[in-house]
Structure 1
Amino acid sequence: MKFLIFGGSVFLSRAVAKEALARGHQVSCLSRGDSGPAPRGTHHIVADRDEETDPRAGTWTGLASHEWDAVIDVARTPSWVDTALAALADRVRHWTFVSTISVYADLSTPGGTPENTPTLPPATGDLDGGADPTSYGQNKMACELAVQRAMDGRCLIARPGLIAGPGDPSGRYTYWPERLSRGGKVLVPRPPEAQTQLVDVRDLAQWLVRMSEEGGTGTYDTVAPAMTFAELLAQTGEGVRRAKVPGREGKPPVRLIWADPEELRQHDVRPWAGPRSLPLWLPDEEYAGMRDRDVTSTLAAGLSPRPLADTAHDTLRWVAEASGARKSGLTWDEEQDVLASLSEGEPSPVA
């Protein structure tokens, strides 16, 4: 099959390109190239979608001279998607758009599905998707609707939540295997039974490529089943112990220090992502449904999540070889300052 991947050089789109190659497909990747080359073995088309705005000119003319079996797009800018569809919709057999669970207007109820959760109104024009989660979700919603209109029954909409694994540029899940590998007292957010949910980038990529091969249609929340934060830490710890990263041997045993949300806020510890955060922590009940989507239909459609311990193992091995500053989580000094000021209870070992 002939695949056209919009992106291909970073994280999910790169994993998709590599998966399609591994399955024997002919793969072209379109990107600016600023983030590095596309995987070896692909045809890399260098183009800037901010500048290539005429679907009847430039790069689009060349792309439209081919028939494509599958397109997979991860864009967050509606005008990019509109232009691509105007140029290629009648030249493509199947179109996959990777959206986000941020398209949902109400994420307060656990167990939601695409069928029973209302969505945000679509953006009119291109909003600043980095300004707030709502603008990002509205942009993605506009992209979804454009794909559905143009492809009319020949498209798949995937709505992932948090994506984890080697190559993650956000550093969200990555924080936890990296931190556990250092040992000692580890600051973690109460309650241990709080739900959390993610998907390994490679499992998602495999599913997207297979659904493209099969011409799968519909809208799916593409994350693994939810687990408790305690389970996440236990499975992550298992993967860390197996990783045996050089320089991390002989560290003191991990002891989890569970802190109440109020204590964490008092010490300016932030939720979810970014500097001075405890990544994946979402204490506000308005996000309870973001931590626990019902993915029964996604699993029935073939998403096959690997054990989180395997994700942790591979992520830590990648972190040990990668360079660059961490984008999410507390620094060592920040964590030690908070730990020193907490009225901590009895530490608990990571299982």
Structure 2
Amino acid sequence: MHKRLRYETSVRQGGQLNILVLGGTGFLGAQVVQQCVALGHNVSVFSRGLFAESPGYRLAGMATLKHVQHFYGDRNKGIDALKVLDDCWDVCIDLCGYTAPQVRESTTWLRDKVRHYIYISAVRAFLPSPEHMINESSERYSPIDENITRVDNETYGPLKAACESIVHEVFEGRNTILRPQVMVGPNDLSGRMTYWLLRAKNQPVMLPGDGDDFLQVVDVTDVASFIVRVSENRYLGEFNLAGHKISWRAFSQLLGIQHGVWVNNQIIKNAGLTFRELPLFRPRGSNEASYMNISHDKAVSCGFRISEMSDTISRIMDWIGHTDITKMIPDDIQYEQLSPEAEAQLIREQLF
């Protein structure tokens, strides 16, 4: 009761929100915190890493850091790690809830300290639907057993579905579920978009499929802006966040590729290649292609703004021009991706 009374007597001043961000130092988190601070909100960040050393904030400069309160802890260590969060907030933005225990403990601890809980899920919470566009009403995975904490390609979707169910249960009537698609933009260390931007300089360039498969990603800045909008307007419910869907042929044109060789899907399949070796490529008709066919209509109706792919590519290219990508993209990711030698071999198979 003491905490609830504390919350009810906290008053926002001049439209400012007191915002708690769980995991605010990564790719999306840095964008969210920067935008919140720029709009004059009071921001607290809970993370296990050193805030000032995260990639996003090395670029942001110290101006943002001076306006952020920092709490350090590892939510994997249980509810005791969350006890430093002994305050009250208008909004909690949960960016790093991947397993049921993490989300169960954070929602339980914050239930009477937070008015509005925003959980960042993923479109992978939905069951594959190769024949139909996925929207907010599409069927989700059944929540996975809460004792399973292994995060991999097989468990990721069911884990997200379980976390969503917990948020709905604990913050009933005062939560928002946001499901971003594959996010891209400057400072993205996943190597997914940068792979193609760098390979585009090759002559010739191996291109997957026949050009008619689809690519759909979302700009991280757009996602962050909508998260802030949801916070300020207290939009409740579920929203899928996806960019414009384009063909791989159109994508190759945006990359400026003039000497590309389309390698058919059968050759790619025979070589055992997946979206790990060929980032972002999901051949049409496959289960994975389901996640390149996401409706964003509901979010757009609430003010979600979508950048043109050409603008996103321009921002990433500008970042690449000022960054040593080979030192920033983790070695294990670079090792997974298709090597130039393997690329050349696929081109030979297609041509000869």
TM superposition score normalised by structure 1: 0.84
- What displacement does 1:258 show? 0.6
The reply to whether residue 281 of structure 1 matches residue 301 of structure 2 is: no
Equivalent residue number for residue 207 of structure 2: 188
Alignment of 1:193-342 (within 5 A): 193-237=212-256, 254-268=258-272, 270-273=273-276, 277-283=277-283, 284-320=285-321, 321=323, 322=325, 323-324=327-328, 325=331, 327=334, 329-342=337-350
Q: 2:99 aligns with which of 77, 83, 91?
A: 77
- What displacement does 1:336 show? 2.0
* CA distance 1:256–1:311, change in 2 (3 Å): same
Q: Does the 8 Å CA contact 1:164/1:174 hold for their aligned counterparts?
A: no
Counterparts of 2:235 and 2:295 in 1: how far apart (Å)? Answer: 19
Equivalent residue number for residue 123 of structure 2: 101
Q: Does the 8 Å CA contact 1:278/1:330 hold for their aligned counterparts?
A: yes
Counterparts of 1:77 and 1:19 in 2: how far apart (Å)? Answer: 27
* CA distance 1:178–1:147, change in 2 (3 Å): same
Q: 1:24 aligns with which of 40, 64, 75?
A: 40
- What displacement does 1:272 show? 1.6
- Structure 2 unaligned residues grouped into runs of 5+: 1-16, 58-64
The reply to whether residue 45 of structure 1 matches residue 64 of structure 2 is: no
- What displacement does 1:235 show? 2.6
Equivalent residue number for residue 114 of structure 1: 136
Corresponding residue pairs, total = 317
Counterparts of 2:235 and 2:303 in 1: how far apart (Å)? Answer: 11
Equivalent residue number for residue 60 of structure 2: none
Counterpart residue type for residue 274 of structure 2: P
Q: Secondary structure at the match of 1:271?
A: coil
Counterpart residue type for residue 289 of structure 1: S
Q: Secondary structure at the match of 1:8?
A: coil
- What displacement does 1:343 show? 1.8
CA-to-aligned-CA distance 1:232-259 (integer Å, 9 cap, x gap): 222343xxxxxxxxxxxxxxx7311111
- What displacement does 1:127 show? 2.4
- What displacement does 1:316 show? 2.4
Q: Secondary structure at the match of 1:184?
A: coil
Taking only aligned residues, the RMSD between alpha carbons, in angstroms, comes to 2.1
- What displacement does 1:126 show? 4.0
CA-to-aligned-CA distance 1:50-95 (integer Å, 9 cap, x gap): 11x23xx4542x423x220111112111111111111111211211
Counterparts of 1:106 and 1:216 in 2: how far apart (Å)? Answer: 27
Counterparts of 1:22 and 1:333 in 2: how far apart (Å)? Answer: 46
Q: Does the 8 Å CA contact 1:165/1:174 hold for their aligned counterparts?
A: no
Q: Does the 8 Å CA contact 1:3/1:28 hold for their aligned counterparts?
A: yes
Q: Secondary structure at the match of 1:272?
A: coil
Q: Secondary structure at the match of 1:207?
A: helix
- What displacement does 1:186 show? 0.9
The reply to whether residue 127 of structure 1 matches residue 145 of structure 2 is: no
Counterparts of 2:248 and 2:112 in 1: how far apart (Å)? Answer: 46
Q: Secondary structure at the match of 2:224?
A: helix
Counterpart residue type for residue 46 of structure 1: Y
Equivalent residue number for residue 166 of structure 1: 186
Equivalent residue number for residue 247 of structure 1: none
Equivalent residue number for residue 145 of structure 1: 165
Q: Secondary structure at the match of 2:300?
A: helix
Deviates more, 1:279-288 or 1:216-225: 279-288
Equivalent residue number for residue 19 of structure 2: 3
Q: Which has the higher helix share?
A: 2
Q: Does the 8 Å CA contact 1:197/1:291 hold for their aligned counterparts?
A: yes
Counterpart residue type for residue 282 of structure 2: L
CA-to-aligned-CA distance 1:183-224 (integer Å, 9 cap, x gap): 421111123121221101111011111111110111111111
Counterparts of 2:44 and 2:252 in 1: how far apart (Å)? Answer: 38
- What displacement does 1:330 show? 1.9
CA-to-aligned-CA distance 1:104-151 (integer Å, 9 cap, x gap): 123223322121x11111122242443333x11111111111111121
- What displacement does 1:338 show? 2.2
Counterpart residue type for residue 192 of structure 1: G
Q: Secondary structure at the match of 2:226?
A: helix
Q: Secondary structure at the match of 2:262?
A: strand
Q: Secondary structure at the match of 2:274?
A: strand
Q: Does the 8 Å CA contact 1:79/1:125 hold for their aligned counterparts?
A: yes
Counterparts of 1:293 and 1:172 in 2: how far apart (Å)? Answer: 19
Counterparts of 1:59 and 1:130 in 2: how far apart (Å)? Answer: 22
Counterpart residue type for residue 272 of structure 1: F
